[in-house]
Amino acid sequence: MTKRKMILTAHQPVYLPWLGLFHKIALSDAFCYFDDVQYLKKDWNNRNKIKTLQGGIWRTVPVLSKGYRGKKIREIKIDNFTNWQKKHWKSIYFAYKKAPYFSRYSDFLEEIYEKEWHYLTDLNEYLLKYFLKELGINVEYHKASELNFEGQKSSLVLEMCKKLGADLFIFGALGKDYAEEAAFSQAGIKVYFQNYIHPVYLQSERDFISHMSIIDLLFNCGPNSYGILMMGNITKKELKKKFKMK
């Protein structure tokens, strides 16, 4: 029996992710939650944007980042000395309370912000799994911290592909800056660089603003969200055809 060809992607933990991450995962058979890489200050690990009457605003989870240069993301603790949960939920509530599908997701999110979280990756992972479920995206799920990968950047990704048996790896657009394609080719692993085209959809209040958190799409479009985030972008079927994968 011929072994099924496997498409793999990965991403570090991010807070309230944007649409492009879910498109990348939707193209894959397996996803690796990359919680074992260095924490990046002022990146997407602990912040993202929501749309308000004032435009897109950042919501940032405060973290205890002292000595962060030597820490993995999974080691980063949330700074619970400030009541950031109340601030985030209040912002989300007033930004989206009139959105068509607010009631569909609000109970879950309100519960999230009533709970005390200690590690950033635990919060991000819980949110990610919920969003994947609501979007109907089902993939084989792995955590880098449980698999002991070695190497850095391109070599780290290559080892992950070998250990998990990937035939094709999906990089984000920035992967072109560090991916050593020749090494992947030599190992018999194909690579694809995602080029996500952000869809335009009906948002609450004023003109459309792109690159908001996935909650913006969910609150505004509900069960139609998956079709919208895939709109104008390559599908898994098309990707397999492109690389002649059965």
Residue-wise pLDDT for 179-233, tens only, equals: 999 999 999 999 999 999 999 999 987 789 999 999 999 999 999 999 999 999 9
Q: Is residue 56 within 8 Å of 209, Cβ to Cβ?
A: yes
Give pLDDT, residue 204.
80
Single-letter code of the amino acid located at 47: R
pLDDT at position 71 is 85
- Give residue-wise pLDDT tens across range 126-161: 999 999 999 999 999 999 999 988 888 899 999 999
Mean pLDDT of 59-64: 95
Report the mean per-residue pLDDT for the chain: 94
Residue 2: pLDDT over 60? no
- Ranges of each domain in the chain: 7-240
CA separation for the pair 28, 24 (Å, rounded): 7
CA gap 41, 126 in Å, rounded: 21
At 11, list the tokens.
């991403």
Instruction: With cut-offs at 50, 70 and 90, classify the pLDDT of residue 3.
Output: low
Q: How far apart are CA 41 and CA 189, in angstroms?
A: 32
Rounded alpha-carbon distances, angstroms, from residue 231 to 91, 172, 242? 28, 18, 18
CA distance 152 to 175: 13
pLDDT for the residue numbered 40: 81
Please give the CATH number for the structural domain made up of 7-240.
3.40.50
pLDDT of residue 69: 72
Residues near 18 by Cβ (< 8 Å), separated by ≥ 6? 48, 211, 212, 213, 214
Beta strands, E only, the chain: 7-11, 30-33, 47-52, 55-60, 63-64, 77-78, 140-143, 168-171, 190-193
Conformation bin of residue 205: beta by default, left when phi > 0, alpha when psi is -120 to 50: left
Distance from C-alpha of 32 to C-alpha of 60, rounded to nearest angstrom: 24
Is 70 exceeded by the pLDDT of residue 1? no
Report the pLDDT value the prediction gives residue 42, as an integer from 0 to 100. 79
Residue 97 vs residues 52, 122, 205, 232: alpha-carbon distances, Å: 11, 26, 11, 29
